[in-house]
Structure 1
Amino acid sequence: MLIRLFPFLCLLFIAQSCSGQKDADPKAAEIVRQCVEVHGGRNYRNFDVSFDFRAFKVQLQHKGGKFRYERSTKDTLGNTIVDILTNEGLTRSINGKAQTPEDKYRESVNALAYFALLPFKLTEPAVNLKYLGETSIDKQKYDKIEVSFDAEGGGKDYKDVYCYWINQQTHTMDYLSYATGGPRFRKATKRTTVGGIIFQDYDNYEIKDTTLSTQDYDRVFMEGKAVLLSKIEQTNYVSHK
């Protein structure tokens, strides 16, 4: 699956993320707060973790309100390509030579970090949370949270609407859905704790009915009509702290 364009939230300061969450829906905000605490809490503020994702070497860092997300790979000719996204923007190099970065590279690095750092990314100031009620999946009870974004700070795809399923007992984020690039429903599978932060692998399902709202994708999954499209797996984790 190609990484598509997701809200460019990460250029907001990490310090804002910890304190700037809007409480327009206090119930949804509290559920997300508990979820973030279980997945890593304060460890998200200062960490340095690397891992492999498909053909990429990835290193994600937060420190003192700053972030640095690095993605490196080799192309078919053996050239080393490095993209580094920070609070100041994106730099791109090929074999150590600086390039003029394109927006698509910035947004793809951001998308990679966005998914890897869920649910922490749901605390950023441009995020709007809405409680949609309770539901059950595989005999587990979940709180369903709708996520939308402000036009300012929400990026190119700010009109997108996502949905997250938070386990009422464990407070973990077990499922998520989105429609950007095609309707998708993800189920968390393997969990790995590195530097006090939980990182998750996913089974990535395709939802054939493009007329459905993202909040209804769980129904298709429970009916057995979701098609397993790919597996989202990260390996070889290292904490550098």
Structure 2
Amino acid sequence: MRTLLPLLFLSLAFLACESKQSGDISSSEVPVANAQTIVDRAIEVHGGERFENLEMAFRFRDREYTAKREDGQYTYTRAFTDTLGQVKDVLTNSGFSRTINGKRQSLPAERVKAFTASVNSVIYFALLPFGLNDPAVQKQLLGTVTIKGIPYHKIKVTFKQDGGGEDFQDEFLYWMNQEKGTMDYLAYTYATEGGGIRFRKAINPKVIQGIRFQDYINYEPAGNNFLEIEKDFEAGNLKELSRIELQDIKVRAR
């Protein structure tokens, strides 16, 4: 799974906010399409500068997440209760720590790496397409494809080893709606736990404090046709594995 590159984002103090209409940018306002302008437009449509300094909280699979980003400083937390007690993970610019019932835990390096990746990946996906302009991101426009009768720009993303995190060899595909500018589908490869490919369809879009959040249907392909996986989706050849659903989202954008 992709870890959040230099891990930019969000934290505590939350306000419940009403959804409002997304400010989709008219296709007539988009310059000649290239990977950078397409990604810039998608980020703007999904929230733009509101991502830069904000506080948020949400629940995902019975775990509570908070995130804060301010002037390049970030704090992410994850809290849950298990058989050991109340667990709290905290990730900042300085590193990762875990407490259980308020007591700091000493963890081996491999567990720190795994917990860091787990917290980062949840927030990374929650805030996409923000993060796609990170310096380690390498973007390539693969062309135009049609999915369910709608034309999309298809973007391939790879990562530089320098600044690309532990999973820099992962590859991503993004499908940006040509008319609305929204990121409606994504796919990625991953090497952890034996590796594999996933394809996600965005559902249930909602705009809170000017930021667009989306849930996803998570699919697994039968084969390895990553670069043209949208064809397998169109043909109904992908198996639904799970739903990625954020609950009780609260945001305070600045």
Q: Is the pair's TM-score, using the shorter chain for normalization, greater than 0.5?
A: yes
Which residue does 2:248 correspond to in 1? Answer: 236
After superposition, residues 19-168 of structure 1 pair within 5 angstroms as 27-77=34-84, 79-101=85-107, 102-168=112-178
Q: Distance in 2 between matches of 1:94 and 1:194?
A: 32
Q: Percent of counterpart pairs with the same letter?
A: 41
Q: Distance in 2 between matches of 1:143 and 1:205?
A: 21
CA contact (8 A) 2:76 2:91 kept: yes
Q: Amino acid of the residue matched to residue 196 of structure 1?
A: G
Q: Amino acid of the residue matched to residue 166 of structure 1?
A: M
Q: Secondary structure at the match of 2:132?
A: helix
Which residue does 2:186 correspond to in 1? Answer: 176
For structure 1, the residue ranges without an aligned partner over 5 or more in a row are: 15-25
Q: Distance in 1 between matches of 2:201 and 2:41?
A: 20
Which residue does 1:217 correspond to in 2? Answer: 229
Instruction: Using the TM superposition, give the Cα deviation of residue 66 of structure 1 relative to its aligned residue in structure 2, in angstroms.
Output: 1.3
- Structure 1's 137 and 231: CA in aligned 2 closer, same or farther, altered over 3 A? same
> When the two structures are superposed, what TM-score results if normalisation uses the length of structure 2?
0.83
CA contact (8 A) 2:9 2:51 kept: no
Which residue does 2:202 correspond to in 1? Answer: 188
Q: Distance in 1 between matches of 2:214 and 2:83?
A: 29
Offset from partner CA, 1:181-230 (integer Å, 9 cap, x none)? 421110000112223211110001110103x2x32110100011111111
CA contact (8 A) 2:8 2:131 kept: no
Greater RCO, CA 8 A, separation 6+: 2
RMSD: 1.7
Tell me how many residue pairs correspond in the alignment.
Answer: 223
